[in-house]
Structure 1
Amino acid sequence: MVSSTEFQTVLKTASGYLDVAANAHGEEKAFLAVQALKRTCHPSPHVVAVGPGGGSAVAHLASQLSLGEPHVESARLTLIEVPGVTSSSLADAVEAFSRVGTCQLVSGFAQDMGTLLTEPADVISASALLHEVYSYAGGYTGLHGVIRTLPTVLRPGGMFAYRDVYAVKGVSLHDGSLQTYTSRSWLRFLRMFVPQYLEHGTHPYHSASDPMVFRQDSRIVPVERLDEMTSAVIAAPAGVFREVQRHYITLRDHVWRSGVLGFRPFLEGPLAADWIDARRGHKRVHYALTDTDWLPDSQKSMLIALSERYIDHYTVDGDIFDECTDIALNAFLTLAEHGDGECGEVWQNWVTREGRETYAYMTLDSLLAAVAVHSTEVAQNQRTVLMPVQPTDVLRRDRTYYNRYLRRALPNPLRDAKQLVLFTNIPVGDTRSLSEGMHCLQQWCSKGSLARVYSAINSGG
């Protein structure tokens, strides 16, 4: 076991992880920040990016400003990053932004924004901030603390642009659900992942109504004794299935990047977007061979036989690659389960860095309500509340490639996507904006959540 500090700053923030695995989707990460700048009235807005990682969002924002979109006289960017975190890609992005504005990097934690920033922000942008805080900095207590901090560092009328993992469509992640698993690699993953996640991860599934019940051949079995050769029917909260599914995808990407399977696909850059049919999530996968020698030659030879040579590497239909990958991944998990060699090390690195995170602990309903309610609890001269005010302030970006794979791998998969919300810091005395905000919340929130928000706004803090 590594310490909490080492867990955050050594594995989660290793330069290789930030420069490659965490440095994608810059347009998506910066999308709402760009929209917020289009609506700001400040000629020289102060933008704060919390946890810039590899800098993909910073680079995209710089490119948009260089094109004059959005149109501002100048932009001042403050980056807040965990102490000791550096990456060459972030340094490049900072240099690019310095050509269109000013940029400073501040070391610290999101919880301390109030003391780290020397002036109010017009826009605060963050990706995955709340799930990181939830997983590593105090669960709901830490998460609610960050929400309460936001109104104190945003100007009235300022905006918080937030992006995170899409949860599920429903009121609660605790709603009971049934899932069927037939794939050997998924069953083995369940046996390896679920016990350590439920025991060591930060998650909300502790109540008597949250148990996971595993059945094979109509008999209840402990998760540790799941037989990967027999289909399993599992009863559990929808949120647990969401965690299993998202963690499997992150493990698969992690193992791919390691090259331990004998091939390493291109997951970033132009070759990662070679679509056959983008709307349906069907792509060509480009990959290079690695020198792994534990995988049977027949598996690598079969993949090569189904592929085509492309300059200095290979390309293959994504559906074929996914099927071959699941066979190879099952072989990997067989060795990793026994801690064997390189496979055991790759698994352990992933478990330590990603395996205890909780990606989706709130539905959109509960997220919007939590941000609104806790933002009103701040003692300040002018009380404000954080809410989206336009229908387009709440978006979902589907992961079509992953969804295509999941539909083929699971009988009833959950949707894989990102959810984006642009919150406005509304003074509680601004009745027009409050009315717009409540109207927007009505489209996403239950009546119970709306009642909580209404009560929080009118309770006086």
Structure 2
Amino acid sequence: MLCNSISWGRTLIASKFATESKTAACYLDVAANAHGEEKGYLAYQALQRVERNCPRLVEIGPGGGSAVTFLASRIAAGGHGHRNVDLTLVEVPGVVSTSLNQAMEEFGKVGTCDLVTGFAQDIGTLVTEPVDVISASALMHEVYSYGGGYAGLHSMIRTIPTVLREGGLFAYRDVYAVDGGSLHDRAVQTYGAQSWVQFLRMFLPQYLREGTHPYHGEHDEVIVRQDSRIVPVDEVTNGTHVFISAPIGIFREVQRHYITLRDHVWRSGVLGFVPFLDGQLASDWIDAKTGHKRVHYRLTDTDWLPISQKAMMLALSERYADHYTVDGDIFDQCTDIALSQFLASAEVGEGECQGVWEHWNTREGRETYAYMTVDTLLATFAISSTESNQDNRTVLMPVQVEDVIQRDRSYYNRYLRRALPNPLRDAKQLVLFSNIPLTDTDALQSAMHSVQQWCSRTNLARMYSAVNTGG
């Protein structure tokens, strides 16, 4: 998952936020500029509920502008009654994206589009007039990692209702979190594939040492066993299974970061091939339900890999126009072999491989995805929003059952099932929050009904208490 570029809180940005790598054109215009339909879907649904003729929409962290392009195309197609949408984009200072400029030009054909620079927690001062819809994608892990941890998250949530009109909507998309009472609940995972063992050795010690994460308690200790003995994770060796006991949130971080590294290395071309990860060729499904697809790829001029590696791939592929196509399962298997060789080279500091590793590591290696299950996410937004500094109190909750959506990432889940004995589910979760006045008893009743299927009784009681007592 390569996330959208996000505008985050100021607290830690100067010392930790990797501005150069986060704002590089290869990241913003390519890697962070996919899934426009998914990023813009809820915002589009929200616009259709707005009765005002010229609705005001704010998108936090537009990145390469894929969601902006999607919205422009839908509005141009006449899918709803609005003829002029006033769009404000809020982006971190210093971000320059060619594709975002192009997206803004497209949106200018169906409405107005302005770009302001600032941070998510400052949205209350950046946006001076009440808005109808706020949209954001993958915002929470950026705010958590660079904007003050959970305190920064709660501060941001308290600010959102002060910017929205009463009855306005907040469209949010993020990575799905594992089910469970807490990400601190302990679990055991087994890693046998060589590339995963190498990744553990290179990534996990640094993440635990330098990342912004909540796993500091005595019960959060990461215990690693190999060959029936406890070993430091930076001393695990190849060729033998690794057994780790740790909070389940740690395993989620390992799994998600491995996937982002794999995508990053793919895009770099250092493995000798670059798959089509976006556009129509990225969705050539053999069986979409099971995540089985054909992968289209082109060759690069990388010469450090053994000739046999590229020859094996070509022998199993077919020519397709100006590139090649191969069964996705075969492509994944070849990728892990090549990735293992890449990590071995990067670990000893060899040239191009080390550079690609360091670029990814600087940009994402210390981030925490601040996962919240839907249960926790809904409760956190509801409770924190009632604590907003405003005269007319409101609460952020979904008012319809269909305002909460989970979408499996079937291709990645298929790969993970083949690579790990007990992988964690990979998916996206989307929530359309309404800014409900606490005086609107009908909307509150509908909202409580909507969250019942997602929330535990404990969190339902906490939300009920917050609505009735102000948090």
For 1:376, the equivalent position in structure 2 comes to: 386
Letter in 2 for 1:102: T
In the TM superposition, residue 3 of structure 1 has moved relative to its aligned partner by 7.9
* TM-superposition CA deviations, 1:114-153 (whole Å, max 9, x none): 1111211100000011111011111111111110110000
Cα shift at 1:420: 0.3
Equivalent of 1:331, from 332, 338, 341?
Answer: 341
What is the aligned counterpart of 1:87 among 80, 94, 97? 97
Specify the SS of the correspondent of 1:209: helix
Secondary structure, aligned partner of 2:100: helix
- After superposition, the Cα gap between the structure-2 partners of 1:19 and 1:72, relative to the gap in structure 1 and judged at 3 Å, is same
CA contact (8 A) 2:83 2:111 kept: no
Give the conservation status (yes or no) of the 8 Å contact 1:174–1:237: yes
Give the whole-Å Cα distance in 1 for the aligned partners of 2:30 and 2:143.
Answer: 22
Return the alpha-carbon distance in structure 1 between the equivalents of residues 399 and 204 of structure 2: 39
Gaps of 5+ in 1: none
Deviation at 1:5, TM superposition (A): 5.9
Please name the residue that 1:202 is paired with. Answer: 212
What secondary structure, in the 3-state scheme, does the structure 1 residue paired with 2:52 have? coil
Partner of 1:39: 49
Describe the shift of the 1:5–1:20 C-alpha distance in structure 2 as closer, same or farther (beyond 3 A): farther
Residue 174 of structure 2: which of 164, 170, 194 is its match?
Answer: 164
- What SS does structure 1 have at the residue aligned with 2:433? strand
With the length of structure 1 as denominator, give the TM-score of the two structures. 0.97
- The match for 1:439 is 449
| 1:214–1:220 CA contact under 8 A, matched in 2 | yes
Equivalent residue letter for 1:19: D
Residues 1:229 and 2:239 aligned together: yes
The code of the aligned residue for 1:442 comes to: Q
The letter for the 1-side match of 2:364 is E
Report the more deviating stretch, 223-232 or 65-74. 65-74
**Residues 401 and 155 (structure 1), Cα distance of their counterparts in 2 relative to 1, 3 Å cut:** same
Q: Contact 1:393/1:421 (CA < 8 Å) preserved in 2? A: yes
Q: Given the alignment, which residue of 42, 58, 75 partners 1:48?
A: 58
> Are 1:23 and 2:33 an aligned pair?
yes
- Choose the corresponding residue for 1:192, options 198, 202, 210: 202
Q: Secondary structure at the match of 1:437?
A: helix
User: Structure 2: how far apart are the matches of 1:229 and 1:273?
Assistant: 35
Q: Are residue 418 (structure 1) and residue 402 (structure 2) matched? A: no
1:202 offset after TM fit, Å? 1.1
Q: 1:111 aligns with which of 89, 103, 121?
A: 121
Q: Report whether the alignment pairs 1:430 with 2:440.
A: yes
Tell me which residue corresponds to 1:401.
411
Distance 1:460 1:83 in 2: 35
Q: 1:69 to 1:8 in 2, by over 3 A?
A: farther
2:226 equivalent among 207, 216, 219:
216
Q: Which residue pairs with 1:9 in the alignment?
A: 19
The answer to whether 1:348 aligns with 2:351 is: no
How far did 1:214 drift?
1.2
Shift of 1:180: 1.1
Q: 1:301 aligns with which of 298, 306, 311?
A: 311
- d(CA) in 2 for partners of 1:437 and 1:14? 41
Q: What whole-Å deviation, never above 9, does each CA across 1:148-180 have from its counterpart, x for those lacking one?
A: 110000000000000001111222111111111
Out of 271, 288, 293, the position equivalent to 2:298 is 288
Task: Supply the distance in 1 between the matched residues of 2:14 and 2:459 (Cα, whole angstroms).
Answer: 34
Structure 2: gaps (5+ residues): 1-11
Letter in 2 for 1:174: H
- How far residue 14 of structure 1 moved from its aligned partner, in angstroms, is 1.3
Distance in structure 2 (CA, Å) of the matches to 1:56 and 1:179: 36
> Counterparts of 2:285 and 2:291 in 1: how far apart (Å)?
8
Give the secondary structure class of the aligned counterpart of 1:41. coil
CA contact (8 A) 2:213 2:368 kept: yes
3-state DSSP of counterpart to 1:348: helix
Aligned length: 460
Tell me: CA distance 1:73–1:262, structure 2 relative to 1, closer, same or farther (3 Å). Answer: closer
Q: Does 1:315 align with 2:325?
A: yes
Is 1:153 matched with 2:181? no
Shift of 1:403: 0.6
Any conservation in 1 of the 2:13–2:146 contact (CA below 8 Å)? no
C-alpha distance in structure 1 between counterparts of 2:25 and 2:101, whole Å = 11
Q: 1:360 & 1:378 partners in 2: Cα distance?
A: 22
CA contact (8 A) 1:173 1:363 kept: no
> 8 Å contact 2:140–2:370 — kept in the other structure?
no
Q: Kindly tell me: are residues 8 and 159 of structure 1, through their superposed partners in 2, closer, same or farther at Cα, counting changes over 3 Å?
A: farther
1:386 and 2:420 are equivalent in the alignment: no
Decide which of 270, 280, 287 is 1:260's aligned counterpart. 270
Cα distance change on mapping 1:66 and 1:256 into 2, 3 Å = same
- Deviations for 1:82-120, whole angstroms, at most 9, x for unmatched residues? 111121111111111110111111111111111111211
Q: Moved runs in structure 1, 4+ residues, more than 3 A?
A: 2-8
* Deviation, structure 1 residue 407: 0.6
Structure 1 residue 273: Cα displacement: 1.4
Q: Deviations over 1:32-62 (max 9, x none)?
A: 1111111112121100000000100000001
Letter in 2 for 1:79: L
Separation in 1, partners of 2:339, 2:158? 43
Q: Per-residue CA shift, 1:165-217, capped at 9, x if unaligned?
A: 11112221111111111101001101111101111111111111111111122
